[in-house]
Structures are given as structure tokens and as C-alpha cells.
Structure 1
Amino acid sequence: MSDIVVVGAGQAGASLVARLRKGGFEGRITLIGEETAPPYQRPPLSKAYLMGDLELERLYLRPLQFYEETGVDLRLGAHVEAIDREARRVRVGGQDVPYDTLVLTTGSAPRRLPAAIGGNLDGVHVVRGLADADAMAPRFAEGARVLIVGGGYIGLEAAAVAAKRGLKVTLVEMSERILQRVAAPETSDFFRDLHSAHGVDIREGVGLERLLGEGRVTGARLSDGSELDVDFVIVGVGIAPGTALAEEAGLTIDNGIAVDAEGRTSDPAIWAAGDCASFPYRGARLRLESVPNAIDMAECVADNILGAGHAYVPQPWFWSDQYDVKLQIAGLSAGYDRIVTRPATGAHAASFWYFQGSKLLAVDAMNEPRAYMVGKRLIDAGRSPAPEAVADPKVELKSLLA
């Protein structure tokens, strides 16, 4: 019988321990999390939970009794201070917890604004954990002025919630367009128009010079010289993988904790999965920040700990909810050289298909679930329809699968 210790009680950690038990592992499992809440969903924090439409208990991935019934030692509010690889122990709260197998599912942390430009002022928030959402929720009062720094999906989702609650929203993005790092100009245009129609003031190609205020944020000076009066600020400028513990233990780091195709780190007794881990993919290394990847990779690692020997092959998909629009993304768009637009089937709808030459790489589908489902099936199967067929409204979507 062996001891498995899992550090990080988020989506990946919770998925991994459940899979171990489902796979028949009967040894001791210890799941350690820094937060005091049991493993919970994070995507609703910037949407339904922040809107007050979702109760706390409904965030939980599994009820607390699941961990008791399956014999998982769930340790919450616990900080892992160090890994002793030679003795195979982790130090938690001054005590040593032994392991035969250690899994790091340490996730990621939001990037914060430097203190030198006001990032430590009261009223400056990030959206990552339950405590973040709880701290900013009381500020979402009608008429309040909020500045959102960063035009990625987190920033846009927060802007949508704020606008729906009647706040005055200004969003600044220092790149030339919102979503520039992750989406085509067509998708950026779609969401810019959507937010503008809801009264959001989007300023692209404009950065934040500094926040203003004594102790509490009261304003912002932007890179174009303009100043804004603000009541609070939401920062959405990306996340960084949780690698500190692995680095201190001397594990190989390469855009996250580097693992092999099965999920092992440079120490064969230690594995990693989720946001924190980078894995081999098409001759390079890839790290994905998404719930589906956290679940799929964690379950693959759990299977491999039990001896399956399967290489992790991602089938990437993502989503975002803004106003009455559900964006669904299939595939990875990096390297595209052509965008094909499929005629929309309704209001506030569109789908953009990313091609590299004749190869389909990804699909962005806004309120177009059939386009998303067809695109995902094609991408997962490694098949590519003719771009001309995608663009032709007379060609049935389903026929692209033939």
C-alpha cells in the first residue's frame, strides 16, 4: 500500500483524487489546499457568483462528505512550505507528511499591479479565488465607477457583470485590440461591439500609468495622459503558473512545471497536472489554462500513476459567457493564416474558423452551438473541411463531417 499526496485542492486536484479512487486505488490519499473552502468551480466567480445568482454551496465540485466517504484526507487552509525529495516528505504547518507519490496541482495565480503604480491600494482587485470575489462583490453598486485593466476574457467577463449591474465601466487594454493574444481581429471586433452596445467604454492601445489615491484608489492616470475618477479597479492582466514550490525543490521548470508525456516531472516520484504543468505537444511544450485541461490532464495522470502508461493528448476547448452571448472555442488557433466567417444563424451570433493553409486549427463560435460542435468534432478527428464550404451558407454544417 502506498501514500499519495496531492498539493493543490482546485479542479485538477479534486479530479485527480476522484479518479484514483474510481480506478481502484486503496492506499492513503492526502489532498492539501491553501484555501479554507473545499474544491470549487472557479469560472462562475466572475459571472454567476459575482452577480449573486449562485450560492456558495453550488460552487463546490463535490460535497464535503465525498472526501470522508472515499477516505481522502482533505486538509484545507494548509500551506505546503517545502518538498523534501530525498526523504519523500512535504512540510505542512511545521509537520511532515510522507509520500510515495506526490502530485503537484498548484494551479496558477493572477498577475498583480506593482505597488509602485498603486497596485497595493485598497479597492484594487483580481478575480481568481473565492476570497477575491467576496471582497469585490459589495462594490458592485449601481452607478459605481470601475476601471478594468486588461482586455482578455477575465476582464471582459467582469465588464459584462459590472455593466449588467448598472456600473459605469471603463476598460483599458494596452495592446492595439482586446483579446489580441488569444483571438482573431474578427472575434475582437464582435466583443468590442457587444460591450460598446452595453455602455462599456473600451480604450485600446492605452495602458495604465498609475493608480491615484491615498490608501484607497480614487482615480487612474492612463498612458495617453487622461485621468479617470474610479471607485474600484479590477485587474485582469493574465496569470502565472504556480511553480514556486517545484522550483524550490529543484524540479525542471519550462513555462510551468515540465512533465513528460505521461505527466511525470524530472523527479519520477513527482507528477503534475493542470494550469501549473507544461507537457510535450507537437514538438514543443504547451501549457493550457482551462477547466477542461485541468480535468482531462489530472485524470490521465491519475490513470498513469495506476500504471496505464497513456500519453496525454489534449483536445482543447474553452468557453466564456458575456451578457446573452456564450462563446465556445474548440482547438488552438496559434499559427493561423486565414479566418473564414460562417454566416450567422441569429442575432448576436457568429462563428470564425481558423485555418493554417487548408488545415482547420480552431473555431470561435458565439451563440452558434452547432458550429462549435461540428468544428470540435472535426478538430478532434484531425479533419479539415474546405474553407469555401465553411463560408457557404447553402452548405449544411452537418455535411462538413461527411
Structure 2
Amino acid sequence: MTDSERIVIIGASLAGARVADTLRKEGWTGQIVLIGDEPELPYERPPLSKTVLLGKEQPEVSQLHDQAWYDERNIELRLGVAATAIDTAAHKVTLADGTEAGYDKLLIATGSRVRKLDVPGGELIGVHYLRTVAESKALAEAYAAKPRVVVVGAGWIGLETAATARERGCEVTVVEPQPTALASVLGQQVGDLFAELHRSHGVELRFDTGVEGFEGDDKVTGVRLSSGEVLPADLVVVGVGIQPNTELAEAAGIKVASREEGLGILTGPDLQTSVPGVYAAGDVVRWDHPFLGRSIRVEHWQNAMDSGKAAAKAMLGQDVSQDALPYFFSDQYDVSMEYTGDVPRDTSYQVVLRGDPASGAYLAFWLADDNHVLAGLQMNSGWDVIDPIKALIRSKKPVDPARLADTSVELADI
């Protein structure tokens, strides 16, 4: 590519900003246009469900860089205006304000949106979702009044918002249709450990329970459960997952995965879509993972960082194969957790615990039928332990479960 050429990035997200940053770090001096439908400068989401909700920091802490940073790197920002169409034949993007942006290469980092709970009363004041800076700010302000909070969903966002609500003095109940916390990610055994963590901090948990609707006139006053019971609530936080924003790509004729396939813009290991010169990164991409041997989509901070960097290098013609292991972290109360690896749905496995969960510090491993490690988790065991866990996963070698559980045996010696 030459200095006169232009790369357009749709999505002023963490992934989109990571692409722009990497392009400059790799020495590319052509034009970069970063388009975002939100008015804020690109930001990262983890603080929004943690320190911002705790009232310890303002939403601005999530901002990646100030305006001067983009100016110094000659990165043009078009914020507060959505991309409405992609013409891959003409190599141009149409924006909501009627303007167009021509491109030589295109990166789609449109991210995801929250799944809305389609039940009566969903429009009532006091029913919150958490995805954007504005939503985090509104929820943090609402927590200050110490309301009775009902959280719908015991996934990562649900549990993090429950933890911050409790730490701010709110009465909290979590409602979840699955049998335990984080059941679809961690399974019953480790999910139960997270459930106990929240019970120990005074959270009431209602598992195997659905939500039929929200009660109230203008403002929410209760949550009607599938049992018919109504839980009193001054505030509701709904955390029932996210959905990748693939519509723009699909309308442009770019291949996307079906719901049965797990959604997402389909790419190869180099993150190039079905249309040459068009790439994808972040929450929205479902790529062929060379190590795992199947396509995956990852909805976490680290994937935005990794895929953004990889996509930028691929756009510059470098030989790229995105094989980073899925990784995410969570902070709840005084607990710091990291997880890496991937356990495919409907896969049989055994869980091996290393250390005593009652102490608050332990490791958990998910082993396939042949005893090779699929995934691992560290709970309050130090940030330096995740690399040995990744090494065990990448080795694909069967391990002895007894030695894995034995804390006197170094992970590197297993």
C-alpha cells in the first residue's frame, strides 16, 4: 500500500482503535479514517462494570486516548455518526449524515449490542442495561441511592454488576434460568463456587427461574418470575448476553455465520472476510482458529486487542495467523479471576481443582476425555500463573489429573 491510499475502520471501539494504532506502529503512513456511532472517543469496557460502577472512578477512565493522540498520528475521527452501508464494488462506506468515505482496504469492528429482554414492562424507568459509557454512568448514579436491585442473568456482566451493587450497600437478588452461576461457561462445579462467593457477600440467588415481566406504572417496582412470584425492585439490571452487529456486513454481501453457527462475520485465520480487502476484528468476527481447529467468536477485551493487532498486520500484507487462546478476566469483591482456553459446547470433560476453594485461592482445569487440558482458571493465585496454564493447553498432551491437583508439583513439571 502507498501513502496516498486509505484504510477505513468502521467501529471506533477498542478493536478499531487497536487497528489504527498498530497500523502506525508498523510504519504505515497512509490515511486512516475511524468511524464510530457513539460521540465518545474510543474506550474500553471493563472499567464500566467495575470501578465506574463502584463510584471510584469517572467514566472517562475508560477512554483509550485523548484527541491529541489521534491528531498526532494523523488518524481522522468521525464520531457520533453511524455507517449505514458498504459498497464493496465501489470501495466506499455511506454514513448516516449522507457523507461517504472511500477506501482501499476496510476493517469492520462494529462490535456487539446487548440482547434485550422482550417481556412486558421492559420499557419502564429503572430497567437498565450495561454496554456503553452513558449506561454505566446512569447505573452508577442510580446505585448511589442504595436501591433494591434485581439482576437478571448470572453471567459475567450480571455477576459483576451484582458485586458492585452489594459493595455500594444495595440489597441484591440475581435471577437466572440456568441451574448455577456462569453455567454455560464454567459448568456446574465451578459455577457453584462463584454462586457461593456471591451468597457469602449477601446476594440472594434464584436459579432455575425465568422472568415473565416487570411490574410498575412509569417506574419499575417489581420483577415477575416464572413461578408467579413478584420480587420487589427499585432498579433492575438485565445482563442476558450480547449479539454481534453483523447486519451492515451481511447487507454488503459479506458472509456471516447463522445463529446455529454462532453468529459473527466469517473470516479465515488472517481475519480477511469473504470479500478481498475487507477484514474484521473484535466481538463481531468469527474466525477459523488454527490451534483449536474450528471457528470461534470471543466477546472479551483481550480478543479486541489481539484481533485488532493481527488484522492491522494482515491488511499491510504480513503473514498473519490469529491463534491467540481465548482469555478473559473478572474482578468481583476481593476476587481476581483469569480464564484461558475454550471448552466447546456439548463436550464431555472433567474438572480438576488445584488448591482449596475454601481458601479463596485455587486453580481449575477442564480436561478432555483423553486428559489433555482444554481450559484453565486461576482464582486469586497471581497474574503470573496464566502463562503456565496456556502452555499446558498448547501442549495438547494428556496429563495425570492427580499430579495436576497436587500443589507440591510445579505446573511446569506436569
Determine the structure 1 residue equivalent to 2:216.
213
Paired with 2:43 and 2:109, the residues of 1 have a C-alpha distance of: 14
Alignment partner of 2:381 out of 352, 368, 382: 368
Shift of residue 310, structure 1, vs aligned partner: 1.5
| Partner amino acid, structure 2, of 1:263 | L
Determine the structure 2 residue equivalent to 1:264.
272
Alignment partner of 1:343 out of 352, 355, 364: 355
| Partner amino acid, structure 2, of 1:270 | V
Shift of residue 65, structure 1, vs aligned partner: 1.0
Q: Secondary structure at the match of 1:30?
A: strand
Paired with 2:146 and 2:9, the residues of 1 have a C-alpha distance of: 44
Q: Secondary structure at the match of 2:53?
A: helix
The answer as to 2:138 corresponding to 1:125 is: no
Structure 2, gaps ≥5 residues long: 258-262
| Partner amino acid, structure 2, of 1:171 | V
Alignment partner of 2:367 out of 336, 355, 359: 355
Determine the structure 2 residue equivalent to 1:52.
55
Aligned CA distance change for structure 1 residues 380 and 142 (closer, same or farther; 3 Å): farther
Question: Under a length normalisation based on structure 2, what TM-score does the superposition of the two structures give?
Answer: 0.93
Determine the structure 2 residue equivalent to 1:312.
322
Aligned CA distance change for structure 1 residues 161 and 191 (closer, same or farther; 3 Å): same
Residue pair 1:336, 1:361 contacting (<8 A) in 2 also: no
RMSD of Structure 2 on Structure 1 (CA): 1.6
Q: Secondary structure at the match of 1:303?
A: helix
| Partner amino acid, structure 1, of 2:374 | L
Paired with 2:241 and 2:128, the residues of 1 have a C-alpha distance of: 13
Q: Secondary structure at the match of 1:97?
A: strand
Shift of residue 55, structure 1, vs aligned partner: 3.1
The answer as to 2:321 corresponding to 1:303 is: no
Q: Secondary structure at the match of 1:49?
A: coil
Residue pair 1:40, 1:60 contacting (<8 A) in 2 also: yes
Shift of residue 386, structure 1, vs aligned partner: 2.2
Determine the structure 2 residue equivalent to 1:327.
337
Shift of residue 345, structure 1, vs aligned partner: 8.6
Percent sequence identity over matched residues? 39
Paired with 2:237 and 2:38, the residues of 1 have a C-alpha distance of: 21
Between 1:385-394 and 1:160-169, the stretch displaced more is 385-394
Aligned residues: 399
Alignment partner of 1:379 out of 393, 404, 414: 393
Question: Under a length normalisation based on structure 1, what TM-score does the superposition of the two structures give?
Answer: 0.95
Paired with 1:56 and 1:234, the residues of 2 have a C-alpha distance of: 18
Determine the structure 2 residue equivalent to 1:110.
114
Shift of residue 399, structure 1, vs aligned partner: 3.0
Residue pair 2:338, 2:378 contacting (<8 A) in 1 also: yes
Determine the structure 2 residue equivalent to 1:73.
76
Aligned CA distance change for structure 1 residues 74 and 143 (closer, same or farther; 3 Å): closer
What do residues 105-126 of structure 1 show as CA deviations (whole Å, max 9, x unaligned)?
Answer: 0111110111x42211111111
| Partner amino acid, structure 2, of 1:226 | E
Structure 1, gaps ≥5 residues long: none
The residue correspondences of 1:124-273 to structure 2 (distance < 5 A) are 124-141=127-144, 143-254=146-257, 255-273=263-281
Residue pair 1:147, 1:234 contacting (<8 A) in 2 also: yes
What do residues 10-38 of structure 1 show as CA deviations (whole Å, max 9, x unaligned)?
Answer: 11001000001111111110001111111
| Partner amino acid, structure 1, of 2:402 | E
